[in-house]
């Protein structure tokens, strides 16, 4: 039926020119079947969507699912069963060894000024070592950057280093604000550790001034065991309070305690479902998100949303009787948050098996209202992708531009594959990202469904126009 | 300083043509000063905004503020004080008589099937009469439209009419779904009342399937006193449940009780603040929202957001040292929800005083992330407005098109005035609209601030390019 429509559909040719003297250049052929198909995809997502109900299960019944945890294993089993129930042509688990870090018991922090004690909301960063059982206590040196810490050098010795550069609120796209700060979290300990510091605390990565600490991965780089120090995030409200008090009382003592540890690597899996392509069965289009999440929320936006949207893509294709030419693989990647082992393993296996990957799309920016897609500057067909704007704009997808794609699909980059990231509105993302507030109730059903429909539409276009 | 920049700024001329043979048409002059100014406006809104804190007071300290209520009077006083504190050139109250409807005591509803009683979340519609003290009880006739009710005619006699057409979820812009259903709420009683019905219940105007009834205005038109019947909204979950049970038990009895009443019209005010124009002091640009709200939530999105954003427009102009050529009026309209008396009064006074209004902008679609502006098809300069897309797109404002403007500014329409509505993302609006869930915690600070900056930017452009 689809081919029938294709054959007889009206082709509208859009013409553009930069000035009146140049010849018209055909930049786009917009097929009426495309706009009809995309409308059908959105209609079915909004009236017959399943992804919101799936996310309810993943978030509320399974919950936070850090790599190596029992919940991560439950998520693997849930994903495998769901893909199987949805009647994919093939469903399998791809084994991968993952880091296994555990948070341990209660984390606590405080500082005292003039006999008044202020409790500080704190959480260990993923990968950090524990404090000694009684915690660490010391004077604090506040810095705004890795460079500032590096420059202070030996003056940091015996201190707790406090990285406190806030988000730059003037960025309209909040990922830019995150990008401008997250180095403090990832590399703060690596930079400070070599100077004999007691510990590292980092201002949480959020615009919000509130009481929630935001966790996330950190790295010791190639520090020796002796140089590694406990590292944690504190809430933005506490960071502001501490900073204020430090101005008046630079000698105040800060204490924190955490009992996290890294266990031996654990076995886990990427979960993969496949719809066989009708024309190019040996050429693959991947759509995915990451199945693991941080432990302190339930990972609804990061990245439960991307998981259920990716599965919904396959379901919406089937529901609308769209039979892809390429083989479509839905990949639920394991371990994006603290190792990227799943993404690396998938790419490694794809290479070992000489698989040709034409395109990959990741959703890992939350389940918010659609804004667009970004594509990696490597690969080809940029003008083709941009020409799809007129098809996608009616659904709020105006930003179709060069940019990042997704961490898990990044290892597939080979110069020719087209790598895409789904880009929903980013204003609320860092309210919840890696915090205990990332929970199912923060996800709006229609926004999630619109995202799934957007992704399905892009996969449909990639499948239709790429070879 | 601004004029200095204007004089020396680079003018970029964008040229467009529909095919290669036509002459180039200049559709836009984009001034570098404009993009710089707009960037400054956004920066200041995001780093130094006040509107979120104001909304906290209006929502949490004052709360729901239906026309004629003590809270509406508190809101008037709050608005007058705030505008005065912000050092407007002139602040005044414009008297207007408003309807005064009160909800009364506890509302309740239920239906019984096979000795099982189901309680139904219900709320009276604004303007409805009460039930008798013991409520009304009767059989239910479910209809999907006003036409269906009209066609049933005398068969409705002695029954409770249940308008149950749900939102069409396939509309991407949710106001279209609302527009397709709200007639049932507004005119259900007017259509049914003449057939001797016992009462009218209406499915709540929302996409969500939940337990919250959504109130809103209704009209009896020119029905006689005897023909008027009590009218209420029930939650969507209850509507679905009732509809299911009616299929099996068409004779089930539904009961509801409400004690609302309409008191004599009450005195109230529009609150107006003015910044005198430097070049055209007798030509006005209005920016506003409505100060009243429904009583069951705290009116944070509808329309506390529009109120604080409108005030923020004036503050951001001052803060960025933008001295408008036209006189800018911030108008906090009273009584949009159940009478539009404030909007009508403002237009009437403007006409009486022979005031020339060049443009008006209303924000009454919630405090969500920016999507664009719509402008009324009356008026001129449509191509000019569309040409601003390139200036506004970096802030997520892609939809600059003909459409509605705002209820309160509608009465200003005279064929030449440019009427604009601010159009934020609409996905979440009807989750909260007219329900007890429309509360401050549903508003995201950055989304609200981006809206205020968007509106300020449009007012700046209108002031700069219109005469």
Closest among A244, A323, A231 to A280, alpha carbons compared: A323
**How far does B21 lie from chain A, in Å, by closest CA?**
7
Token match 């036409």: residue?
B147
Q: Are A190 and A221 in contact (CB under 8 A)?
A: yes
Closest among B362, B395, B105 to A427, alpha carbons compared: B395
pTM of the model: 0.93
Select from A19, A174, A369 the Cβ nearest to the Cβ of B425: A369
Residue B31: its pLDDT value, please? 67
A19 chain-B contacts, CB cut-off 8 A: 15, 17, 24
Select from B15, B46, B427 the Cβ nearest to the Cβ of A446: B427
Residues B249-265 have pLDDT tens digits of 999 999 999 999 999 99
Categorize the per-residue pLDDT at A31 as very low, low, confident or very high, splitting at 50, 70 and 90: low
A17 chain-B contacts, CB cut-off 8 A: 17, 19-20
Between the alpha carbon of residue A177 and those of residues A206, A302, A430, the distances in Å are 9, 18, 10
**Is pLDDT above 50 for B278?**
yes
3-state secondary structure A30-56: EEHHHHHHHHHHHHHHHHHCCHHHHHH
Helices (H), A108-221: 146-152, 174-179, 182-193
Distance of CA B306 to the CA centre of its chain: 8
B26 chain-A contacts, CB cut-off 8 A: none
Are A22 and B17 within 8 A, CB to CB?
no
**How far does A46 lie from chain B, in Å, by closest CA?**
6
How many angstroms separate the CA atoms of B96 and B341, rounded?
7
Range from A20-29, A304-313, B11-20 carrying the lowest mean pLDDT: B11-20
In the structure encoding, which two tokens stand for residue B248, read together? Answer: 């099996």
Cα angle for residues B86, B90, B95 (degrees, 5° grid): 110
Which secondary-structure segment (H or E) carries A463?
Answer: helix A445-465
The burial class, CB within 10 Å (0-12 / 13-18 / 19+), for B249 is middle
Cβ neighbours of residue A9 closer than 8 Å, sequence gap 6 or more: A31, A32, A33
Question: How many C-beta neighbours within 10 Å does residue B135 have?
Answer: 18
A20 chain-B contacts, CB cut-off 8 A: 15, 17, 20-24
Between the alpha carbon of residue B326 and those of residues A124, B2, B167, B281, B319, the distances in Å are 56, 15, 42, 6, 17
Categorize the per-residue pLDDT at B3 as very low, low, confident or very high, splitting at 50, 70 and 90: very low
Q: Which residue of B has its CA nearest to A167?
A: B47
How many angstroms separate the CA atoms of B390 and B219, rounded?
43
Which secondary-structure segment (H or E) carries A101?
Answer: strand A90-102
How many angstroms separate the CA atoms of B399 and B178, rounded?
19
Cβ neighbours of residue B63 closer than 8 Å, sequence gap 6 or more: B71, B298, B299
Cβ neighbours of residue B73 closer than 8 Å, sequence gap 6 or more: B268
Are B428 and A450 within 8 A, CB to CB?
no
Select from B23, B174, B394 the Cβ nearest to the Cβ of A20: B23
Q: Which residue of B has its CA nearest to A443?
A: B428
A447 chain-B contacts, CB cut-off 8 A: 427-428
Between the alpha carbon of residue B142 and those of residues B126, B186, B237, B252, B401, the distances in Å are 22, 17, 15, 12, 38
**Is pLDDT above 70 for B25?**
no
Chain A and chain B share a number of CB contacts under 8 A equal to: 83
**How far does B167 lie from chain A, in Å, by closest CA?**
11
Residues A322-362 have pLDDT tens digits of 999 999 999 999 999 999 999 999 999 999 999 999 999 99
**Is pLDDT above 50 for A317?**
yes
Q: Which residue of A has its CA nearest to B20?
A: A20
Categorize the per-residue pLDDT at A30 as very low, low, confident or very high, splitting at 50, 70 and 90: low
In the structure encoding, which two tokens stand for residue A251, read together? Answer: 């000698």
Cβ neighbours of residue A366 closer than 8 Å, sequence gap 6 or more: A301, A302, A305, A424, A426, A428, A429, A432, A433
Q: What share of chain A is helix, strand, coil (3-state, %, to 5)?
A: 35, 25, 35
**How far does B398 lie from chain A, in Å, by closest CA?**
7
Question: How many C-beta neighbours within 10 Å does residue B247 have?
Answer: 8
Are B444 and A425 within 8 A, CB to CB?
no
Residue B30: its pLDDT value, please? 52
Peptide bond into B303 cis (omega under 30): yes
**Is pLDDT above 70 for A2?**
no
Cβ neighbours of residue A109 closer than 8 Å, sequence gap 6 or more: A119, A120, A121, A122, A201, A232, A234, A238, A254, A255, A256, A257
Interface test with A, best of B48, B316, B366, B396 (most A CBs within 10 A): B396
Which secondary-structure segment (H or E) carries B342?
Answer: helix B341-352
Residues on chain B bordering chain A, Cβ-to-Cβ distance under 8 angstroms: 15, 17-24, 42-43, 46-47, 169-170, 172, 174, 207-208, 369, 371, 393-396, 398, 425, 427-428, 431, 444-447, 450
**Is pLDDT above 50 for B21?**
no
**How far does A230 lie from chain B, in Å, by closest CA?**
33
Task: Give the phi and the psi of residue A220 in degrees, each rounded to 5.
Answer: -95, 0
B43 chain-A contacts, CB cut-off 8 A: 170
Between the alpha carbon of residue B405 and those of residues A430, B216, B362, B436, the distances in Å are 32, 20, 7, 26
Are B446 and A47 within 8 A, CB to CB?
no
How many angstroms separate the CA atoms of A60 and A439, rounded?
8
**How far does B150 lie from chain A, in Å, by closest CA?**
29
Residue A1: its pLDDT value, please? 32
All domains of chain A, ordered by start, with CATH?
2-99+264-465 (3.40.630.10), 104-259 (3.50.30.30)
How many angstroms separate the CA atoms of A419 and A310, rounded?
15
A23 chain-B contacts, CB cut-off 8 A: 20
Are B447 and A431 within 8 A, CB to CB?
no
Residues A206-247 have pLDDT tens digits of 999 999 999 999 999 999 999 999 999 999 999 999 999 999
Range from B104-118, B119-133, B356-370 carrying the lowest mean pLDDT: B104-118
B170 chain-A contacts, CB cut-off 8 A: 42-43, 46-47
What SS3 class is residue A402?
strand
Categorize the per-residue pLDDT at A105 as very low, low, confident or very high, splitting at 50, 70 and 90: confident
Select from B19, B24, B447 the Cβ nearest to the Cβ of A427: B447
Cα angle for residues B84, B87, B93 (degrees, 5° grid): 35
Closest among A191, A207, A215, A49 to A128, alpha carbons compared: A215
Range from A145-159, A160-174, B7-21, B411-425 carrying the lowest mean pLDDT: B7-21
Indicate if ipTM > 0.95: no
Token match 């709540």: residue?
B204
Question: How many C-beta neighbours within 10 Å does residue B413 have?
Answer: 16
How many angstroms separate the CA atoms of A165 and A187, rounded?
14
Q: Which residue of A has its CA nearest to B43?
A: A170
Interface test with A, best of B14, B17, B301, B437 (most A CBs within 10 A): B17
B445 chain-A contacts, CB cut-off 8 A: 207-208
């Amino acid at each position: 039926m689809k081919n029938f429509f294709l054959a007889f559909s009206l082709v509208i040719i859009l013409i553009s020119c930069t000035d009146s003297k140049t010849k018209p250049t055909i930049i786009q052929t917009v097929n009426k079947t495309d706009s009809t198909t995309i409308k059908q995809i959105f209609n079915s997502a909004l009236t017959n969507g399943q992804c919101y109900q799936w996310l309810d299960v993943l978030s509320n019944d399974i919950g936070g699912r850090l790599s190596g945890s029992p919940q991560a294993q439950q998520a693997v089993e849930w994903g495998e069963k769901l893909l199987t129930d949805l009647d994919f042509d093939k469903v399998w688990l791809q084994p991968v060894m993952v880091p296994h870090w555990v948070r341990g018991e209660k984390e606590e922090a405080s500082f005292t000024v003039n006999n008044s004690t202020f409790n500080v909301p704190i959480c260990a960063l993923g990968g950090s070592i524990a404090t000694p059982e009684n915690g660490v206590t010391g004077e604090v040196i506040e810095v705004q950057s890795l460079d500032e810490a590096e420059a202070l050098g030996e003056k940091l010795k015996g201190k707790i280093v406090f990285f406190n550069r806030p988000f730059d609120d003037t960025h309209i796209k909040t990922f830019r604000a995150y990008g401008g700060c997250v180095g403090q979290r990832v590399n703060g300990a690596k930079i400070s550790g070599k100077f004999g510091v007691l510990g590292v605390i980092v201002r949480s990565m959020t615009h919000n001034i509130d009481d929630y600490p935001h966790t996330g991965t950190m790295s010791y780089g190639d520090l020796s065991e002796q140089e590694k120090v406990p590292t944690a995030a504190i809430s933005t409200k506490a960071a502001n309070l501490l900073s204020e008090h430090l101005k008046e009382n630079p000698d105040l003592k800060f204490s924190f305690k955490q009992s996290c540890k890294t266990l031996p690597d654990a076995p886990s899996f990427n979960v993969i479902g496949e719809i066989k392509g009708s024309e190019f069965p040996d050429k693959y289009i991947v759509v995915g998100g990451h199945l693991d999440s941080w432990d302190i929320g339930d990972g609804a936006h990061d990245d439960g949303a991307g998981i259920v949207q990716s599965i919904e893509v396959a379901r919406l294709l089937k529901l609308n009787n769209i039979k892809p030419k390429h083989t479509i693989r839905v990949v639920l990647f394991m371990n994006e948050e603290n190792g990227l082992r799943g993404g690396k393993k998938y790419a490694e296996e794809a290479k070992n098996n000489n698989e040709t990957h034409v395109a990959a799309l990741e959703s890992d920016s939350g389940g918010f209202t659609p804004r667009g897609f970004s594509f990696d500057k490597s690969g080809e067909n940029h003008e083709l992708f941009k020409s799809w704007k007129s098809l996608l704009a009616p659904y709020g997808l105006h930003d179709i531009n060069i940019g990042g794609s997704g961490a898990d699909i990044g290892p597939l980059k080979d110069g020719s594959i087209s790598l895409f990231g789904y880009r929903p509105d980013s204003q609320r993302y860092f309210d919840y990202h890696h915090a205990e507030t990332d929970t199912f109730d923060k996800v709006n059903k229609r926004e999630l469904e619109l995202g799934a429909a957007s992704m399905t539409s892009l996969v449909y276009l990639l499948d239709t126009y790429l070879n």
